Amino acid sequence: MAGYGPPLNQHHAAPPAPGYRPEFQNNRSAPTGFSSAQPGDGLESAALLRRARRAPRSGWRRTVHRITGGRVNPGESQQTVYYDDLVRQANAPVRGDFRIAVLSLKGGVGKTTTTVGLGSTFASLRGDRIIAVDANPDLGTLSQRVQVQTPSTVRDLLLDKAIYRYSDVRRHTSQSSSRLEVLASERDPATAETFNEQDYRTVMKTLQRYYNIILTDCGTGLSHSAMNGVLDLAQSLILVSTPALDGARSASATLDWLQTHGYQHLVSRAVVVLSGPRKDSTKIDVDQLAQHFLARTRAVQIIPYDDHLAEGAEVDLELLDKATRRAFVELAATVAEDFALASDEPGLH
C-alpha cells in the first residue's frame, strides 16, 4: 500500500477514459434505408442519443478545450473520472435510514475524527440528512469538532416530549458547514454514565424518523450498556486503528470479541480505517497490516495524516489536504456499497 490510494477492497477500479464515438460517415455505396427491424433497446433507451463528452473542468485538458473553442475535447482525466465514480457511489439511495457504528477500544486513534470526516463527507455530497451521535459515556468530544450551536445534549432530546417534526429535533443539534448535524453527549459525568441501552434505542427511534444516515461515535469500551444497543442496531461497522503495534492488536482483539459475541455479520462487512501517522514516523509495514485486516473484514482505508485534523478542533473539509479529502470520499463510497443491503429490521419501530 504505497501512498494513500483507494481502499483495499478492489471495488473502485478507475473506469476507462471515455473515447470518441465514431461519427456516421457519408458513404454513397452504403444503403440509405432499412429493410428489416434490427434488435435494439427501444425508443426509451439513451442509446439513441449520441454520447456527448463533457468539457474538462481543470488542468491542461480544460485549457486545450478553451483555446480551440471546444473543437478539441480531450475529455476528463482518469483521476477525475475515478473521483466522479466515487461520488456517484457515495450518493447511492438509502432505504429508510442507515446506521453506522464507529468503534475503537483504544483512545487517541482518530475515532471521533473519522466519524466527523465521514459524516461531513456524506453531508457535503448528498442532499439528505446526516447526523452523528456521541454515545461515549466518558464525556465524548464529538461536539467539539463542529461549531456548537446549542448547549442541548442527548439527555435533553430524551427528556423532550414534544418531538413532532424535524425542527423539534434540530433544536437539539449543532450543524457544521458541511451540513453534518451532531447530537452531543451529556457533559455531566454523573448523568453521562447513566446513558444506557434503552436510552440509545429511544434516541435512535426518534432520529430514524428524520435522518437518512446516522453515525454513532462509540466509547472505548464494549461492556457499557449502550454498546449493546449500538451493535444490535448497526448496519455497518467502522473499526478505527493506527498503523502501530498496540493499536493493531487492540483492533484485532475487538474483531475477536465481536466474532464470539454474535456479531459475525458486522465483522465480515466491517471497514477498517487506519489513521495515518506523520510521514516516516512508523516502522510498521502498513501493507502487511492492511492484509491482516482484509483477511477478516470487507475493506481497509487509510486516512493520511493531516495537519488540520491533528489540531483536534472543528473539522472543515475545505481545509483538508487533497489526499485526505479524497480518502474520505473513498471511505464514503465503500460504506455506501452496503446501502443496497439495508432493510427495515425488527425492533426499530
Contact 114, 145 (CB under 8 A): no
pLDDT value at 245 more than 70 = yes
pLDDT value at 88 more than 70 = yes
* 317 vs 62: which has the higher pLDDT: 317
* Site of grid cell 458486522: 266
- Residue 49: the pLDDT is 56
55: alpha, beta or left? (left if phi > 0; alpha if psi -120 to 50)? beta
* 5 vs 75: which has the higher pLDDT: 75
- Residue 192: the pLDDT is 57
- Residue 272: the pLDDT is 98
What does the pLDDT look like over 150-163, one tens digit per residue?
999 999 999 999 99
CA 345/CA 342 separation, integer angstroms: 9
Domain with CATH 3.40.50.300 in the chain: 93-341
pLDDT value at 47 more than 80 = no
CA 304/CA 281 separation, integer angstroms: 12
* Site of grid cell 470487507: 298
Considering the chain, what is the average pLDDT of its residues?
A: 83
What does the pLDDT look like over 97-133, one tens digit per residue?
999 999 998 888 899 999 999 999 999 999 999 999 9
- Residue 194: the pLDDT is 78
pLDDT value at 164 more than 50 = yes
pLDDT value at 34 more than 60 = no
CA 183/CA 133 separation, integer angstroms: 5
- Residue 346: the pLDDT is 45
- Residue 217: the pLDDT is 96
Contact 293, 272 (CB under 8 A): yes
From the centroid of its chain, how far is CA 202? 24
Of 6-20, 135-149, 158-172, 179-193, give the range with the top mean pLDDT.
158-172
What does the pLDDT look like over 210-223, one tens digit per residue?
999 999 999 888 88
Q: Predicted confidence band at 142 (pLDDT cuts at 50, 70, 90)?
A: very high
Contact 273, 110 (CB under 8 A): yes
What value does the mean pLDDT take over residues 24-30? Answer: 42
Contact 254, 222 (CB under 8 A): yes
Contact 99, 204 (CB under 8 A): yes
pLDDT value at 36 more than 70 = no
How many other CB atoms sit within 10 Å of the CB of residue 81?
Answer: 15
Question: Cα-flanking dihedrals φ and ψ of residue 321, to 5°?
Answer: -65, 155
What value does the mean pLDDT take over residues 192-212? Answer: 92
Please state, for a pLDDT cut of 90, what percent of the chain lies above it. Answer: 60
Closest by CA to 226, choosing from 198, 201, 197, is: 197
* 292 vs 32: which has the higher pLDDT: 292
What value does the mean pLDDT take over residues 22-41? Answer: 46
pLDDT value at 33 more than 50 = no
What value does the mean pLDDT take over residues 227-233? Answer: 96
Specify the pTM: 0.80
Of 24-28, 90-94, 280-284, the one with minimum mean pLDDT is 24-28
* Radius of gyration in angstroms for the set of CA atoms belonging to the chain, rounded to a whole number: 24
What value does the mean pLDDT take over residues 233-257? Answer: 94
Contact 315, 118 (CB under 8 A): no
Here the cell at position 327 is: 480518502
pLDDT value at 148 more than 80 = yes
- Domain range 93-341, CATH architecture: 3-Layer(aba) Sandwich (3.40)
CA 24/CA 26 separation, integer angstroms: 7
CA 266/CA 61 separation, integer angstroms: 44
